Amino acid sequence: MRDHRALMAALLALVGALFAASLLIGPAGIAPAQALAALLRGDATAEALVMREIRLPRALLAVMIGASLGLAGAAMQGYLRNPLAEPGLIGVSGSAALGAVIALQTGLAASFALGLPLAALAGAAGAVALLLALAGPRGGSLTLILAGIAVSALAGALTALVLNLSPNPFAAAEIMFWMMGSLVDRSMTHVWLALPLMVVGWALLAGLGRGLDALTLGEDAAETLGISLTRLRLMLVAGTACVVGAGTAVAGAIGFVGLVVPHILRPFVGARPSALLPASALGGAAMLLAADVAVRLVLPERDLKLGVVTALVGAPLFLHLIYRTRAEGL
Protein backbone atom coordinates (compact mmCIF):
# COMPACT_ATOMS: atom_id res chain seq x y z
CA MET A 1 0.00 0.00 0.00
CA ARG A 2 2.86 2.35 0.84
CA ASP A 3 4.15 2.33 -2.72
CA HIS A 4 0.76 3.18 -4.16
CA ARG A 5 0.12 6.30 -2.15
CA ALA A 6 0.93 8.57 -5.11
CA LEU A 7 -1.39 6.61 -7.40
CA MET A 8 -4.24 6.71 -4.89
CA ALA A 9 -3.77 10.44 -4.33
CA ALA A 10 -3.81 11.08 -8.08
CA LEU A 11 -6.97 9.00 -8.53
CA LEU A 12 -8.63 10.76 -5.59
CA ALA A 13 -7.80 14.15 -7.12
CA LEU A 14 -9.19 13.00 -10.46
CA VAL A 15 -12.44 11.84 -8.87
CA GLY A 16 -12.70 15.17 -7.01
CA ALA A 17 -12.17 17.22 -10.15
CA LEU A 18 -14.67 15.16 -12.19
CA PHE A 19 -17.20 15.31 -9.34
CA ALA A 20 -16.95 19.11 -9.42
CA ALA A 21 -17.31 19.09 -13.22
CA SER A 22 -20.38 16.88 -12.90
CA LEU A 23 -21.93 19.39 -10.49
CA LEU A 24 -21.11 22.40 -12.66
CA ILE A 25 -22.08 21.17 -16.12
CA GLY A 26 -25.71 20.99 -17.10
CA PRO A 27 -28.36 22.36 -19.46
CA ALA A 28 -29.49 25.07 -17.02
CA GLY A 29 -26.16 26.89 -17.50
CA ILE A 30 -25.74 28.25 -13.96
CA ALA A 31 -22.45 30.15 -13.38
CA PRO A 32 -20.00 28.01 -11.30
CA ALA A 33 -19.75 30.40 -8.32
CA GLN A 34 -23.50 30.82 -8.21
CA ALA A 35 -24.02 27.06 -8.53
CA LEU A 36 -21.76 26.22 -5.58
CA ALA A 37 -23.32 28.96 -3.47
CA ALA A 38 -26.79 27.59 -4.24
CA LEU A 39 -25.65 24.06 -3.41
CA LEU A 40 -24.44 25.15 0.03
CA ARG A 41 -27.37 27.50 0.68
CA GLY A 42 -30.03 24.94 -0.19
CA ASP A 43 -32.90 27.43 0.00
CA ALA A 44 -36.04 27.47 -2.09
CA THR A 45 -34.51 29.16 -5.16
CA ALA A 46 -34.55 27.47 -8.56
CA GLU A 47 -30.73 27.28 -8.53
CA ALA A 48 -30.69 25.46 -5.19
CA LEU A 49 -33.36 23.06 -6.42
CA VAL A 50 -31.34 22.24 -9.55
CA MET A 51 -28.12 21.76 -7.60
CA ARG A 52 -29.47 19.76 -4.67
CA GLU A 53 -32.20 17.69 -6.28
CA ILE A 54 -30.90 17.14 -9.82
CA ARG A 55 -27.12 17.51 -10.12
CA LEU A 56 -25.98 16.35 -6.67
CA PRO A 57 -27.75 12.95 -6.79
CA ARG A 58 -26.49 12.43 -10.33
CA ALA A 59 -22.86 13.08 -9.37
CA LEU A 60 -23.17 10.96 -6.20
CA LEU A 61 -24.66 8.05 -8.11
CA ALA A 62 -21.89 8.24 -10.73
CA VAL A 63 -19.28 7.93 -7.95
CA MET A 64 -21.15 5.13 -6.15
CA ILE A 65 -21.93 3.06 -9.22
CA GLY A 66 -18.57 3.67 -10.90
CA ALA A 67 -16.72 2.62 -7.75
CA SER A 68 -18.95 -0.45 -7.44
CA LEU A 69 -18.32 -1.57 -11.01
CA GLY A 70 -14.57 -0.98 -10.78
CA LEU A 71 -14.40 -2.91 -7.51
CA ALA A 72 -16.56 -5.78 -8.76
CA GLY A 73 -14.53 -6.04 -11.98
CA ALA A 74 -11.21 -6.15 -10.11
CA ALA A 75 -12.57 -8.75 -7.65
CA MET A 76 -13.97 -11.04 -10.34
CA GLN A 77 -10.80 -10.82 -12.41
CA GLY A 78 -8.76 -11.57 -9.30
CA TYR A 79 -10.83 -14.55 -8.32
CA LEU A 80 -11.11 -16.07 -11.79
CA ARG A 81 -7.58 -14.97 -12.71
CA ASN A 82 -9.05 -13.98 -16.03
CA PRO A 83 -8.82 -10.41 -17.39
CA LEU A 84 -12.05 -10.84 -19.39
CA ALA A 85 -14.34 -11.17 -16.37
CA GLU A 86 -16.60 -8.15 -15.89
CA PRO A 87 -20.15 -7.84 -14.50
CA GLY A 88 -21.54 -6.14 -17.61
CA LEU A 89 -20.07 -8.45 -20.24
CA ILE A 90 -20.93 -11.74 -18.61
CA GLY A 91 -24.53 -10.88 -17.94
CA VAL A 92 -24.51 -10.06 -14.21
CA SER A 93 -25.70 -6.48 -14.84
CA GLY A 94 -28.23 -7.69 -17.40
CA SER A 95 -29.65 -10.18 -14.90
CA ALA A 96 -29.82 -7.44 -12.26
CA ALA A 97 -31.76 -5.30 -14.75
CA LEU A 98 -34.17 -8.20 -15.29
CA GLY A 99 -34.75 -8.43 -11.53
CA ALA A 100 -35.34 -4.68 -11.35
CA VAL A 101 -37.77 -4.67 -14.27
CA ILE A 102 -39.76 -7.55 -12.80
CA ALA A 103 -39.95 -5.72 -9.45
CA LEU A 104 -41.15 -2.53 -11.13
CA GLN A 105 -43.77 -4.14 -13.35
CA THR A 106 -45.20 -6.47 -10.73
CA GLY A 107 -45.54 -3.67 -8.20
CA LEU A 108 -43.03 -5.25 -5.81
CA ALA A 109 -40.88 -2.10 -6.05
CA ALA A 110 -43.80 0.07 -4.98
CA SER A 111 -44.90 -2.20 -2.14
CA PHE A 112 -41.82 -1.86 0.06
CA ALA A 113 -38.85 0.47 0.08
CA LEU A 114 -36.01 -1.89 -0.75
CA GLY A 115 -38.05 -4.09 -3.10
CA LEU A 116 -36.39 -2.71 -6.21
CA PRO A 117 -32.70 -3.06 -5.23
CA LEU A 118 -33.31 -6.43 -3.54
CA ALA A 119 -34.95 -7.85 -6.66
CA ALA A 120 -32.02 -6.60 -8.75
CA LEU A 121 -29.66 -8.16 -6.21
CA ALA A 122 -31.45 -11.49 -6.59
CA GLY A 123 -31.04 -11.29 -10.37
CA ALA A 124 -27.34 -10.46 -10.08
CA ALA A 125 -26.70 -13.13 -7.45
CA GLY A 126 -28.34 -15.80 -9.61
CA ALA A 127 -26.16 -14.84 -12.58
CA VAL A 128 -22.85 -14.71 -10.64
CA ALA A 129 -23.54 -18.02 -8.93
CA LEU A 130 -24.45 -19.66 -12.23
CA LEU A 131 -21.37 -18.30 -13.99
CA LEU A 132 -18.98 -19.33 -11.23
CA ALA A 133 -20.51 -22.78 -11.17
CA LEU A 134 -20.12 -23.13 -14.94
CA ALA A 135 -16.68 -21.56 -15.29
CA GLY A 136 -15.25 -23.41 -12.29
CA PRO A 137 -12.69 -22.06 -9.82
CA ARG A 138 -10.04 -21.60 -12.48
CA GLY A 139 -12.39 -19.61 -14.70
CA GLY A 140 -11.45 -20.86 -18.16
CA SER A 141 -11.88 -18.00 -20.65
CA LEU A 142 -13.94 -19.91 -23.16
CA THR A 143 -16.47 -21.32 -20.68
CA LEU A 144 -16.78 -17.98 -18.89
CA ILE A 145 -17.38 -15.98 -22.06
CA LEU A 146 -19.76 -18.51 -23.59
CA ALA A 147 -21.77 -18.84 -20.39
CA GLY A 148 -21.73 -15.03 -20.13
CA ILE A 149 -23.09 -14.64 -23.65
CA ALA A 150 -25.92 -17.06 -22.90
CA VAL A 151 -26.80 -15.38 -19.59
CA SER A 152 -26.65 -11.91 -21.19
CA ALA A 153 -28.86 -12.91 -24.10
CA LEU A 154 -31.40 -14.64 -21.87
CA ALA A 155 -31.55 -11.74 -19.40
CA GLY A 156 -31.87 -9.23 -22.24
CA ALA A 157 -34.64 -11.19 -23.94
CA LEU A 158 -36.60 -11.65 -20.70
CA THR A 159 -36.20 -7.95 -19.85
CA ALA A 160 -37.58 -7.01 -23.27
CA LEU A 161 -40.42 -9.49 -22.84
CA VAL A 162 -41.43 -8.13 -19.42
CA LEU A 163 -41.33 -4.54 -20.73
CA ASN A 164 -43.37 -5.46 -23.80
CA LEU A 165 -46.01 -7.13 -21.62
CA SER A 166 -46.32 -4.04 -19.41
CA PRO A 167 -49.62 -2.15 -19.61
CA ASN A 168 -47.57 1.04 -19.61
CA PRO A 169 -47.01 2.38 -23.14
CA PHE A 170 -43.67 3.95 -22.19
CA ALA A 171 -42.18 0.82 -20.64
CA ALA A 172 -41.39 -0.95 -23.92
CA ALA A 173 -39.35 2.03 -25.10
CA GLU A 174 -37.11 1.68 -22.06
CA ILE A 175 -35.31 -1.50 -23.05
CA MET A 176 -32.46 0.77 -24.13
CA PHE A 177 -32.22 2.33 -20.67
CA TRP A 178 -32.05 -1.03 -18.92
CA MET A 179 -29.41 -2.36 -21.32
CA MET A 180 -27.21 0.73 -21.62
CA GLY A 181 -27.79 2.72 -18.43
CA SER A 182 -28.31 6.39 -17.75
CA LEU A 183 -28.16 8.78 -14.81
CA VAL A 184 -30.48 11.43 -16.23
CA ASP A 185 -33.03 12.80 -13.74
CA ARG A 186 -32.14 10.50 -10.88
CA SER A 187 -32.91 11.90 -7.44
CA MET A 188 -31.74 11.59 -3.83
CA THR A 189 -34.40 8.90 -3.43
CA HIS A 190 -32.34 6.72 -5.76
CA VAL A 191 -29.15 7.48 -3.81
CA TRP A 192 -30.77 6.30 -0.56
CA LEU A 193 -32.26 3.31 -2.31
CA ALA A 194 -28.89 2.08 -3.59
CA LEU A 195 -26.58 3.10 -0.76
CA PRO A 196 -27.38 0.51 1.96
CA LEU A 197 -26.79 -2.52 -0.27
CA MET A 198 -23.74 -0.91 -1.84
CA VAL A 199 -22.11 -0.32 1.53
CA VAL A 200 -22.60 -4.00 2.40
CA GLY A 201 -21.20 -5.02 -0.99
CA TRP A 202 -18.19 -2.69 -0.72
CA ALA A 203 -17.35 -4.13 2.70
CA LEU A 204 -17.56 -7.71 1.38
CA LEU A 205 -15.47 -7.02 -1.73
CA ALA A 206 -12.88 -4.91 0.11
CA GLY A 207 -12.34 -7.85 2.47
CA LEU A 208 -11.28 -10.08 -0.42
CA GLY A 209 -7.84 -8.49 -0.86
CA ARG A 210 -5.73 -10.90 1.22
CA GLY A 211 -7.49 -13.97 -0.15
CA LEU A 212 -7.08 -12.84 -3.77
CA ASP A 213 -3.38 -12.08 -3.18
CA ALA A 214 -2.91 -15.61 -1.88
CA LEU A 215 -4.85 -17.02 -4.80
CA THR A 216 -2.32 -15.60 -7.27
CA LEU A 217 0.01 -18.35 -5.99
CA GLY A 218 -2.53 -21.02 -6.90
CA GLU A 219 -5.39 -22.67 -5.07
CA ASP A 220 -3.32 -25.17 -3.08
CA ALA A 221 -0.89 -22.49 -1.94
CA ALA A 222 -3.80 -20.27 -0.95
CA GLU A 223 -5.35 -23.03 1.15
CA THR A 224 -2.08 -23.71 2.94
CA LEU A 225 -2.00 -19.98 3.76
CA GLY A 226 -5.30 -20.49 5.58
CA ILE A 227 -7.61 -19.06 2.93
CA SER A 228 -10.98 -20.76 2.68
CA LEU A 229 -11.84 -20.82 -1.00
CA THR A 230 -15.49 -21.53 -0.29
CA ARG A 231 -15.74 -18.47 1.92
CA LEU A 232 -13.87 -16.37 -0.65
CA ARG A 233 -16.25 -17.47 -3.36
CA LEU A 234 -19.31 -16.76 -1.23
CA MET A 235 -18.08 -13.27 -0.35
CA LEU A 236 -17.39 -12.56 -4.03
CA VAL A 237 -20.85 -13.68 -5.13
CA ALA A 238 -22.63 -11.78 -2.35
CA GLY A 239 -20.50 -8.64 -2.71
CA THR A 240 -20.79 -8.47 -6.49
CA ALA A 241 -24.53 -9.10 -6.35
CA CYS A 242 -24.99 -6.32 -3.77
CA VAL A 243 -23.08 -3.62 -5.63
CA VAL A 244 -24.14 -4.53 -9.17
CA GLY A 245 -27.74 -5.14 -8.11
CA ALA A 246 -28.08 -1.84 -6.28
CA GLY A 247 -26.41 0.14 -9.05
CA THR A 248 -28.35 -1.46 -11.89
CA ALA A 249 -31.67 -1.04 -10.07
CA VAL A 250 -31.35 2.75 -10.23
CA ALA A 251 -29.22 3.38 -13.33
CA GLY A 252 -29.59 0.39 -15.65
CA ALA A 253 -26.82 -1.95 -16.78
CA ILE A 254 -23.59 -0.10 -17.51
CA GLY A 255 -20.94 -2.24 -19.17
CA PHE A 256 -17.17 -2.17 -19.60
CA VAL A 257 -16.28 -0.05 -16.53
CA GLY A 258 -15.25 -3.15 -14.60
CA LEU A 259 -13.18 -4.33 -17.56
CA VAL A 260 -11.34 -1.17 -18.56
CA VAL A 261 -10.44 0.21 -15.15
CA PRO A 262 -8.64 -2.79 -13.59
CA HIS A 263 -6.88 -3.38 -16.91
CA ILE A 264 -5.47 0.17 -17.00
CA LEU A 265 -4.53 0.25 -13.31
CA ARG A 266 -3.04 -3.25 -12.97
CA PRO A 267 0.49 -2.30 -14.15
CA PHE A 268 0.61 0.55 -11.61
CA VAL A 269 -0.05 -1.69 -8.61
CA GLY A 270 2.23 -4.55 -9.61
CA ALA A 271 -0.64 -6.94 -10.32
CA ARG A 272 -1.47 -7.31 -6.61
CA PRO A 273 -5.24 -7.77 -6.24
CA SER A 274 -5.32 -6.26 -2.73
CA ALA A 275 -3.89 -3.01 -4.11
CA LEU A 276 -5.93 -3.19 -7.30
CA LEU A 277 -9.28 -3.30 -5.45
CA PRO A 278 -9.21 0.22 -3.93
CA ALA A 279 -7.47 1.68 -7.00
CA SER A 280 -10.14 0.20 -9.28
CA ALA A 281 -12.92 1.58 -7.10
CA LEU A 282 -11.54 5.10 -7.49
CA GLY A 283 -10.78 4.54 -11.16
CA GLY A 284 -14.31 3.27 -11.79
CA ALA A 285 -15.79 6.33 -10.10
CA ALA A 286 -13.60 8.57 -12.28
CA MET A 287 -14.53 6.72 -15.47
CA LEU A 288 -18.28 6.84 -14.85
CA LEU A 289 -18.16 10.51 -13.81
CA ALA A 290 -16.24 11.28 -17.02
CA ALA A 291 -18.70 9.28 -19.13
CA ASP A 292 -21.65 11.03 -17.49
CA VAL A 293 -20.11 14.45 -18.10
CA ALA A 294 -19.40 13.41 -21.70
CA VAL A 295 -23.03 12.47 -22.45
CA ARG A 296 -24.06 15.92 -21.22
CA LEU A 297 -21.49 17.70 -23.40
CA VAL A 298 -21.89 15.66 -26.58
CA LEU A 299 -25.68 15.43 -26.88
CA PRO A 300 -27.09 17.44 -24.00
CA GLU A 301 -30.79 16.98 -24.78
CA ARG A 302 -30.86 13.47 -26.20
CA ASP A 303 -30.24 11.36 -23.09
CA LEU A 304 -27.33 9.51 -24.73
CA LYS A 305 -26.88 6.31 -22.74
CA LEU A 306 -23.81 5.84 -20.54
CA GLY A 307 -23.24 2.37 -21.95
CA VAL A 308 -22.66 3.91 -25.37
CA VAL A 309 -19.71 5.94 -24.09
CA THR A 310 -18.25 3.17 -21.92
CA ALA A 311 -18.56 0.67 -24.81
CA LEU A 312 -16.83 3.05 -27.24
CA VAL A 313 -13.85 3.05 -24.89
CA GLY A 314 -14.21 -0.50 -23.61
CA ALA A 315 -15.08 -2.64 -26.63
CA PRO A 316 -11.82 -2.03 -28.56
CA LEU A 317 -9.91 -2.82 -25.37
CA PHE A 318 -11.96 -6.00 -24.93
CA LEU A 319 -11.07 -7.10 -28.47
CA HIS A 320 -7.43 -6.34 -27.76
CA LEU A 321 -7.57 -8.47 -24.60
CA ILE A 322 -9.15 -11.38 -26.45
CA TYR A 323 -6.48 -11.11 -29.14
CA ARG A 324 -3.72 -11.18 -26.53
CA THR A 325 -5.32 -14.03 -24.60
CA ARG A 326 -5.45 -16.02 -27.81
CA ALA A 327 -1.85 -15.15 -28.69
CA GLU A 328 -0.77 -16.46 -25.30
CA GLY A 329 -2.47 -19.70 -26.16
CA LEU A 330 -4.86 -19.71 -23.21
Partner 1 sequence: MVSVNLCADQFALMLAAPGQLVSVTHVAADPHVSVMAEATHGLHRNRAQAEEVHALAPDLVLAGPWTPAHTVAMLRRLGIAVTVIPDVRTLDAVPDALRATGAALGREAEADAMAETYVNELEALRAAARDTPGPRAVLHSPNNYTSGTGSMADQILTLAGLSNLAAEAGIAGGGFLPLEEMVMLAPDMVISAEPYPGASRAEEVLRHPAARALAGPGRHALLADSDWTCGTPHVLRAAARLRNAAQEVE
Interacting residue ranges for partner 1, rule: CB under 8 A: 26-28, 30, 44, 46-47, 49-50, 53-55, 104-105, 107, 109-110, 166-171, 173-174, 177, 185, 187-189, 300-303
Length of the chain measured in residues: 330
State the nearest-atom distance from the C-beta of 99 to partner 1, in Å. Answer: 14
Report the residue number, 141 or 159, with the smaller CB distance to partner 1. 159
Burial (CB < 10 A; 0-12, 13-18, 19+), residue 64, is buried
Report the residue number, 169 or 226, with the smaller CB distance to partner 1. 169
Report the residue number, 1 or 173, with the smaller CB distance to partner 1. 173
State the nearest-atom distance from the C-beta of 218 to partner 1, in Å. Answer: 46
State the nearest-atom distance from the C-beta of 86 to partner 1, in Å. Answer: 25
State the nearest-atom distance from the C-beta of 301 to partner 1, in Å. Answer: 5
**C-beta separation of 240 from 87 below 8 A:** yes
Q: Cα separations (Å) of 75 from 15, 71, 89, 124, 205?
A: 21, 6, 15, 15, 7
Report the residue number, 188 or 317, with the smaller CB distance to partner 1. 188
SS3 state at 305: coil
Burial (CB < 10 A; 0-12, 13-18, 19+), residue 81, is middle
Report the residue number, 112 or 170, with the smaller CB distance to partner 1. 170
State the nearest-atom distance from the C-beta of 179 to partner 1, in Å. Answer: 13
Report the residue number, 46 or 217, with the smaller CB distance to partner 1. 46
State the nearest-atom distance from the C-beta of 169 to partner 1, in Å. Answer: 6
Rounded-to-integer distance, Cα 148 and Cα 188, Å: 33
**C-beta separation of 261 from 73 below 8 A:** yes
Report the residue number, 213 or 292, with the smaller CB distance to partner 1. 292
For residue 140, the surrounding DSSP H or E stretch is: none
**Nearest of 217, 223, 329, 222 to residue 271 by alpha carbon:** 217
Report the residue number, 48 or 146, with the smaller CB distance to partner 1. 48
Q: Cα separations (Å) of 149 from 55, 76, 155, 241?
A: 35, 17, 10, 18
Rounded-to-integer distance, Cα 313 and Cα 311, Å: 5
Three-state SS string over 230-243 comes to: HHHHHHHHHHHHHH
State the nearest-atom distance from the C-beta of 288 to partner 1, in Å. Answer: 19
CA angle in degrees (0–180, nearest 5) for 313-128-321 = 30
State the nearest-atom distance from the C-beta of 295 to partner 1, in Å. Answer: 12
CA angle in degrees (0–180, nearest 5) for 55-58-64 = 140
State the nearest-atom distance from the C-beta of 38 to partner 1, in Å. Answer: 11
Report the residue number, 168 or 228, with the smaller CB distance to partner 1. 168
